[in-house]
Structure 1
Amino acid sequence: MKLLLIEDDKTIADYVLGGLRQEGHVVDHVADGRDALGQAMAGSYDVMIVDRMLPGLDGLSLVRALRAAKVMTPTIFLTALGGVDDRIEGLQAGGDDYLVKPFAFGELSARIGALARRPAPQATETMLSVSDLRMDLIRRKVTRDGIEIDLLPREFALLEHLMRRKGRVQTRTMLLEAVWDISFDPQTNVVETHVSRLRAKVDRPFDHELILTVRGAGYKIEG
């Protein structure tokens, strides 16, 4: 694999470089965050190993900038900042994994291998379709058989969730978590109410139903 190590501590960098090169990897090393930004954008790497506390540009800002530039190289933070909030910050910034110093080289190697085996991210879809139903995610527009359907924001989110999972049953719990960000049962019929409203707009005016109830399980959309 071709790897990029972004680490300003010489002792740690030499240790990691030696171990990775012994395993047969090609490893580039940069000690400054700002220099690393250009290197990461110019190079084609399988995995990046990034320290958080870097001169020039800190690791979080570096990874955020790369993600904003659509550089999606799998990234593992290797850092002394090991609190729960630190790990959350790293993952929310665009990191794929987080390993705290001091660390075992074998674990770092295994995590790098796991990241490299992940499938490459797919291009973000901008148009969803099920039968004659179309959803334009850029224009936030829904049509069926060429007729525009006016949806409220929560109805749009619910329909998008179902369309992205065409043919797969979505339970009430799944929908609460995905659409309402609720991880407990609020003991209300909010899901059923919104599904009913969505059907009234998406299915009722047309000659066949797309949004189906799977008795005892949940809902799915199928054309």
Structure 2
Amino acid sequence: MRILLVEDSIALADQLMPMLREHGYAVDWLADGRDALPALNDDPFDLVILDLGLPGLDGLQVLEQWRVEGQAVPVLILTARDSWAERIEGLQSGADDYLAKPFHPDELLLRVQALLRRTHGRANTSQLTAGTFTLDENRHSVWSGEEEIRLTGAEFRMLRYFMHNPDRLLSKGQLASHLYDNESDRDSNVLEVHVNRLRRKLGKTVIETRRGQGYVFTGKAQ
């Protein structure tokens, strides 16, 4: 899952990016509202964390323009503005959630997870289920029945994205765009390696290959 963080505080960005990446998210960072405005047209993101007090262009203006353009990506607003009127204005402009500064990083992480689950029509729990598999986002663990399956960080990220999109055809381009940030290697051969490793650990029929199209996660292991 790929997140766009738009925050002009270098100290806060330096705190949030490692935490989000540690929990398996690819993170791109921008510090200016003028740079954020076209960002959703350039790359697909699963969620945006947006500060309101941005240089160049206010975060609220950025959000309003995104919604005018039809961008439906969920947006979590961060702000030091604590008046109810400004919170209501942000929600009316299209924000999906609101977090006032200062905040605890764990609360941000939980809100991010909840927004992503809601966007994909999942129950409000840290666990994802598909077929015989259960993935716990908080514990970073994967189970098949009573058996825990050990995955690398890259394998976990890929499986989580597949389980958020079960039975959906995902192209290699879609997978790369949602799993890797701009600093990451998006070589399609790397994707194939991770897919093959997941098949070895989960079962060869769990992920189907559609030649020339991409992959489908079935959740059916053999």
TM-score interval, smaller chain? 0.5 to 0.7
* C-alpha RMSD over aligned residues: 1.3
Helix, strand or coil: the match of 2:82?
Answer: coil
Q: Corresponding residue for 1:21? A: 21
Query: Structure 2 matches for 1:53-72, cutoff 5 A?
Result: 53-72=53-72
Secondary structure of 1:55's match? Answer: coil
Query: Within 2, Cα distance between the matches of 1:3 and 1:58?
Result: 20
Which stretches of structure 1, 4 residues or more, deviate above 2 A after TM superposition?
Answer: none
Provide the residue aligned with 2:112 in structure 1. Answer: 112
Letter in 2 for 1:61: Q
User: Which residue type is aligned with residue 75 of structure 1?
Assistant: V
For 1:26 and 1:6, the matched residues in 2 are separated by 14
Alpha-carbon separation, structure 2, partners of 1:5 and 1:50: 6
Aligned 1:68-217 pairs, distance under 5 A: 68-119=68-119
- 8 Å contact kept, 1:47–1:116: yes
1:38 maps to which residue? Answer: 38
Following superposition, the deviation at residue 10 of structure 1 comes to 0.4
Number of residues of Structure 1 aligned to a counterpart in Structure 2: 121
| CA distance 1:72–1:120, change in 2 (3 Å) | farther
User: Structure 2: how far apart are the matches of 1:53 and 1:41?
Assistant: 22
Q: Secondary structure in 1 aligned to 2:38?
A: helix
TM-score (norm 2): 0.53
Deviations 1:72-94 (A, max 9, x none): 10000011111111110110111
Structure 2 distance, partners of 1:50, 1:67, is 14
C-alpha separation between the residues in 2 aligned to 1:89 and 1:23? 31
- Measured against aligned partners, the alpha-carbon deviations of 1:110-153 in whole angstroms (never above 9, x if no partner) come to 101111112469xxxxxxxxxxxxxxxxxxxxxxxxxxxxxxxx
Q: Deviations over 1:39-88 (max 9, x none)?
A: 12221111100000101111000000000000110000011111111110
SS in 1 for 2:114: helix
5+ residue gaps in structure 2? Answer: 122-222
Asked if the contact 2:33/2:57 (under 8 Å) is kept, the reply is yes
Aligned partner letter, 2:30 = V
Q: Secondary structure of the equivalent of 1:118?
A: helix
Matched, 1:50 2:50: yes
The answer to whether the 8 A contact 1:41-1:66 is kept is: no
Aligned equivalent of 1:175: none
Q: What secondary structure is seen at the aligned counterpart in 1 of 2:49?
A: strand
Distance 1:40 1:100, change over 3 A: same
Question: C-alpha distance in 1, partners of 2:90/2:120?
Answer: 20
TM-score normalised over the length of structure 1: 0.53
